[in-house]
Amino acid sequence: MDFKTLIAPKDGLCTVAADALLLVIAGKVLPDGLDAPLAQALKAAVDAGDLSLKAGQALYLHHVAGVKAARVAVAVAADGQATAWRKALAAGLGLLKGGGAQHVAVAASGLGTLGDAHAEALASVADAQTYVYRHTKPSAPPASKLARFSLVCDKADAALLESGFKRGRAIAAGVALARENANRPGNHCTPSHLASEAKALAKSHGLKVQVLDRKDVEKLGMGAFLAVAQASKQPLKFIVLRWNGAAKTAAPVVLVGKGITFDTGGISLKPAPEMDEMKFDMGGAASVLGTLRAVAELKLKLNVVGLIPACENMPGGAAVKPGDVVTSLSGQTIEILNTDAEGRLVLCDALTYAERFKPAAVIDIATLTGACVIALGHHRSGLFSSSDALAAELLAAGERGADLAWRMPLDEAYDEALKSNFADMGNVGGRAGGSITAAKFLQRYTAKFDWAHLDIAGTAWTSGQAKGGTGRPVPLLTHFLLARAG
């Protein structure tokens, strides 16, 4: 997909040579200053009741007299903010993507000056709308012919918009990598597959990679991770990826992604309905791969480490049983009361492993709890952090990337639920506040660094008709790292 700026010709949008013109206007009243053929067509559409000037509305017009582009789509934005712009683009491209246009010129009227955030949004909206999963469905038709986008602007703004495109392309590439891996079924996207994806990424993008196997993990003493993996025929992998964009001495940001390539629940078996969706339980891992791709494409001047504990959670004769006690890498013992609370078990050992990097911050990303979906639904990821400053950085990054999170509490009082008579802690704390007690469990492994946890159970994929990975929270994480890189 190709994104460029286009300096508008003097005589206006009517003469722009493209297959389609997508005009985004601000709501309520028709903007002044449009060239006559467009102004007339829009007025006629409004008068006829075909276009209402309300945010989110869009209309397709074919062969408007006096307009060179054969197709015109008009989309109404609430205001000139990037969020409204994104919604309008999605509505407008929705009208064009099933048609014959390849090259779309995108223009704004009445929205004020476009900035880098607008260009970034165009790249990510266009890429998201045209992605098609085909790995196990090669017959899938292309989503769209759309391939080229030109953003109409003044000469003075072109450089800024180009910088936005650069960011947007990198984030879109990261989102696509995350989606693609999340969408692959559990028999394709195995721990070994994630390891080979990490190796391929390292090779193509200049990262360092190391993959630890069962023996290495045993030697280290990751008893919690091993317990989750022990009934699976798929060998576990512990993936370490490194982007060295800054001086060796600069403390890295460590991203830890839950990489459960299929979560049956184990002996605490999940019910059958929708169990297929547990192939997405490696969404955290996928977002780490995607974010590192974006970071490498942007050549960020920052050190970033990605850690992915990857395995399946299976029942079977060799499976860990409710009541079993294991010793984590940290030395703390855990009574596994529910084998379906496996994410925290693989993450706690990865968090302890993160200590060796003397990190500037550690962020884990996990499809951790159904309770988080109940709390926040599918719009915002749950954010938990022991640091107010880190939480604020991540929330702001989510706003910039249109990939929102919401801060959740970590009060000491929630920790009591994890008490066990037979180990240092149990791995579950009951139904009440389930996403919080899960975070409190993780927090017990984070005393040595600044830490945040993103519960993406509600945001990493979409259920129902449009079932599929979303690539979240790659935009949030990339914006966070962009800001850290300065």
Query: Would you name the residues annotated as active-site residues?
Result: 270, 344
Stretch that binds Mn ion, among 65-73, 338-346, 371-379, 414-422 (CB under 5 A): 338-346
Contact residue for Mn ion among 340, 349, 364, 393 (CB under 5 A) = 340
Contact residue for ligand BES among 75, 202, 373, 397 (CB under 6 A) = 373
With binding defined as CB under 6 A, does residue 469 bind ligand BES? no
Stretch that binds Zn ion, among 37-45, 168-176, 264-272, 335-343 (CB under 5 A): 335-343
With binding defined as CB under 5 A, does residue 263 bind Mn ion? yes
Q: Within a 10 A sphere around the Cβ of 162, how many other Cβ atoms?
A: 16
Query: Residue 162 in contact with residue 279, Cβ under 8 Å?
Result: no
CB of 433 to Zn ion, least distance (A): 18
CB of 68 to ligand BES, least distance (A): 49
Which of the listed partners (Mn ion, Zn ion, ligand BES, none) does 115 bind, with a CB threshold of 5 to 8 Å by partner kind? none
Per-residue x/- marks for Zn ion, 247-266, CB under 5 A? -------------x--x---
> In the range 157-196, which residues lie near Zn ion by CB under 5 A?
none
Stretch that binds ligand BES, among 61-69, 234-242, 319-327, 366-374 (CB under 6 A): 366-374
β-pairing, 103-109 vs 468-469, is: unpaired
With binding defined as CB under 6 A, does residue 263 bind ligand BES? yes
Query: Residue 395 in contact with residue 405, Cβ under 8 Å?
Result: yes
Per-residue x/- marks for ligand BES, 286-305, CB under 6 A? --------------------
Query: Residue 381 in contact with residue 405, Cβ under 8 Å?
Result: yes
Stretch that binds Zn ion, among 66-74, 322-330, 341-349, 383-391 (CB under 5 A): 341-349
With binding defined as CB under 5 A, does residue 19 bind Mn ion? no
Max Cα-Cα span within the chain: 80
CB of 71 to Mn ion, least distance (A): 48
With binding defined as CB under 5 A, does residue 335 bind Mn ion? no
Peptide bond between residue 473 and the one before it cis (omega within 30 degrees of 0): yes
Q: Which is nearer to ligand BES, 195 or 373 (CB)?
A: 373
- SS3 sequence, the chain? CEEEEEECCCCCHHHCCCCEEEEEEECCCCCCCCCHHHHHHHHHHHHCCCCCCCCCCEEEEECCCCCCCCEEEEEEECCCCHHHHHHHHHHHHHHHCCCCCCEEEEEEECCCCCCHHHHHHHHHHHHHHHCCCCCCCCCCCCCCCCCEEEEEECHHHHHHHHHHHHHHHHHHHHHHHHHHHHHCCCCCCCHHHHHHHHHHHHHHHCCEEEEECHHHHHHHCCHHHHHHHCCCCCCCEEEEEEEECCCCCCCCEEEEECEEEEECCCCCCCCCCCHHHHHHHHHHHHHHHHHHHHHHHCCCCCEEEEEEEEEEECCCCCCCCCCEEEECCCCCEEEECCCCCCHHHHHHHHHHHHHHHCCCEEEEEECCCHHHHHHHCCCCEEEEECCHHHHHHHHHHHHHCCCCEEECCCCHHHHHHHCCCCCCEECCCCCCCHHHHHHHHHHCCCCCCCEEEEECCCCCEECHHHCEECCCCHHHHHHHHHHHHC
Q: Which is nearer to ligand BES, 180 or 340 (CB)?
A: 340
With binding defined as CB under 5 A, does residue 455 bind Mn ion? no
CB of 135 to ligand BES, least distance (A): 22
Q: How many residues bind Mn ion (CB under 5 A)?
A: 3
With binding defined as CB under 6 A, does residue 341 bind ligand BES? yes
With binding defined as CB under 6 A, does residue 434 bind ligand BES? yes
Q: Which is nearer to Mn ion, 158 or 269 (CB)?
A: 269
Stretch that binds ligand BES, among 22-30, 240-248, 333-341, 466-474 (CB under 6 A): 333-341
Which of the listed partners (Zn ion, ligand BES, Mn ion, none) does 310 bind, with a CB threshold of 5 to 8 Å by partner kind? none
Contact residue for Zn ion among 306, 309, 343, 429 (CB under 5 A) = 343
With binding defined as CB under 5 A, does residue 312 bind Zn ion? no
Per-residue x/- marks for Mn ion, 286-325, CB under 5 A? ----------------------------------------
Contact residue for ligand BES among 104, 457, 474, 477 (CB under 6 A) = 457
Contact residue for ligand BES among 83, 163, 192, 338 (CB under 6 A) = 338
Query: Residue 346 in contact with residue 258, Cβ under 8 Å?
Result: yes
Q: Which residues bind Zn ion (CB under 5 A)?
A: 260, 263, 281, 343
Q: Which residues bind ligand BES (CB under 6 A)?
A: 263, 281, 338, 340-343, 367-371, 373, 428, 434, 457
